[in-house]
């Protein structure tokens, strides 16, 4: 809204030309999202405590419960403010006529609604189990089906994936690309959800991943950079940099209150949409394969759960003390704060490695 209003004033004052630049609006978006978060969270935390929308710790694993029982009754559903901060800041500073921005907002709202229902059921029923896995997957599948159709009609010639590290090497996917979209969005959404188990862990990795994708989005929407790096130019994709920086700003605001010891948890209301939107951005700027590197921490966490389940079914024993992986290290006696910082370091290394692939190509 501010972008459309202020940029239209360029005819009266050349200063307002500055708002045409994506980098300027990206910075303003991050600051706006951060400011909204700082303003809302103190009131929101008090409100959640008052209505008793608080975390219920799973008692199925006694060892883990003993470690985390002090976290019980901590307010949850902090993802509501994250989503609000992102939506408002994007509405303020993004080009709302841009199809990719519209898809991003649609994704955030839809997946946020699924997460909200899941969290609300947990809080109302006073249990650690919310929306059933089948229902959650069904609504995610419906969402992805809509997205597949919209992206296909937007750019029917984009059914391919770029191979990292290799120059001008792409893999044509055809109709299989639609299944790839399903896998990426649903997979990234649930992988972030699995990672959200320690104070500051998931949101810190989201901030780092969003920073990497902010750079990639800017490059994807810049003709000169794409030509130099032999990347496909995606007209309008540069605007997604604004969306990425809104996630960074909202994420930093949340991290202020979620860092150890957390005053509020993200909940599925934040984890599901944030993971899903990362997958969506990767698809829209044609950097799907790099998501496995940039979001490597989320991939590792998800794989630890898959390995645990399959190994238990095959042998009747556990491969890890407990999954996801961050809980395994907790059970080994590593302090929560140390695990989180080390995972952040790993996320930074992976993000830098992913960006380096652009030049290596």
Element containing residue 171 per DSSP (H, E): strand 170-172
Answer whether residue 168 is part of any domain.
yes
Cβ(111)–Cβ(143) below 8 Å: yes
Question: For residues 145 and 141, what is the distance between their CA atoms, to the nearest angstrom?
Answer: 6
Cβ(263)–Cβ(74) below 8 Å: yes
Answer whether residue 9 is part of any domain.
no
Answer whether residue 308 is part of any domain.
no
Answer whether residue 64 is part of any domain.
yes
DSSP 30: H
106 is in which domain, residue-wise? 24-289
Answer whether residue 203 is part of any domain.
yes
* pLDDT for the residue 32: 96
Q: How many domains does the chain have?
A: 1
Answer whether residue 361 is part of any domain.
no
Q: Count CA atoms closer than 13 A to 227's CA, side-chain side.
A: 3
How far, in Å, are 21, 35, 224, 253, 326 from residue 242 at the CA level? Answer: 10, 16, 20, 17, 31
Q: Percent helix, strand and coil across the chain, each rounded to 5?
A: 75, 0, 25
* pLDDT for the residue 60: 67
Answer whether residue 301 is part of any domain.
no
User: Which of 104, 101, 99 has its CA nearest to residue 25?
Assistant: 101
Answer whether residue 17 is part of any domain.
no
The CA-based angle 117-120-124, given to 5 degrees, is: 140
Cβ(174)–Cβ(316) below 8 Å: no
Model pTM score: 0.93
DSSP output for 276-323: HHHHHHHHHTT-TTTHHHHTHHHHHHHHHHHHHHHHHHHHSS-SSSSS
- Print burial letters for 54-93: b (CB count within 10 Å at least 16), e (below 16): bbbbeeeeeebeebbeebeebbbbbbbbbbbbbbbbbbbb
Q: What tens-digit pLDDT sequence spans the chain (361 residues)?
A: 766 666 566 667 776 677 788 999 999 999 999 999 999 999 999 999 888 888 777 766 666 767 777 887 889 899 999 999 999 999 999 999 999 999 999 999 999 999 999 888 887 766 657 777 888 888 988 998 888 888 777 776 778 888 887 777 788 888 888 888 889 999 999 999 999 989 999 999 999 999 999 999 999 999 998 888 888 889 899 999 999 999 999 999 999 999 999 999 999 999 999 999 999 999 999 999 999 999 999 999 999 999 999 998 898 888 988 889 998 998 898 999 999 999 999 999 999 999 998 877 6
């Amino acid at each position: 809204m501010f972008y459309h209003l202020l940029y239209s004033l360029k005819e009266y004052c050349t200063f307002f030309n500055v708002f045409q630049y994506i980098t300027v609006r990206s910075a303003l978006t991050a600051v706006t999202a951060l400011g909204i978060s700082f303003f809302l969270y103190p009131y929101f935390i008090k409100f959640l405590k008052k209505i008793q929308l608080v975390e219920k710790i799973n008692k199925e694993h006694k060892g883990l419960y003993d470690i985390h029982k002090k976290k019980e009754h901590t307010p949850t559903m902090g993802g509501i403010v994250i989503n609000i901060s992102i939506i408002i800041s994007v509405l303020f500073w993004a080009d709302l006529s841009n199809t990719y921005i519209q898809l991003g907002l649609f994704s955030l709202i839809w997946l946020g609604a699924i997460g909200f229902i899941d969290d609300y059921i947990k809080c109302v029923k006073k249990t650690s189990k919310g929306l059933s896995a089948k229902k959650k997957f069904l609504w995610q599948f419906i969402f992805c089906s809509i997205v597949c159709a919209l992206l296909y009609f937007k750019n029917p010639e984009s059914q391919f994936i770029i191979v990292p590290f290799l120059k001008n090497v792409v893999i044509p996917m055809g109709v299989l690309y639609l299944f790839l979209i399903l896998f990426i969005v649903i997979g990234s959404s649930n992988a972030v959800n699995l990672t959200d188990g320690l104070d500051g862990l998931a949101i810190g990795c989201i901030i780092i991943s969003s920073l990497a994708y902010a750079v990639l989005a800017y490059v994807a929407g810049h003709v000169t950079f794409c030509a130099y790096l032999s990347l496909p130019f995606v007209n309008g994709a540069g605007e997604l940099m604004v969306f990425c920086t809104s996630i960074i700003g909202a994420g930093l605001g949340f991290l202020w209150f979620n860092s150890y010891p957390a005053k509020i948890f993200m909940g599925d209301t934040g984890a599901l949409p944030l993971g899903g939107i990362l997958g969506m951005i990767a698809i829209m700027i044609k950097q799907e394969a790099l998501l496995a590197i940039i979001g490597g921490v989320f991939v590792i966490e998800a794989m630890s759960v898959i390995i645990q389940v399959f190994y238990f079914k095959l042998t009747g024993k556990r491969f890890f003390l407990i999954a996801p992986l961050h809980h395994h290290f907790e059970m080994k006696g590593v302090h929560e704060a140390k695990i989180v910082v080390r995972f952040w370091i790993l996320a930074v290394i992976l993000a830098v490695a992913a960006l380096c692939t652009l030049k290596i190509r």
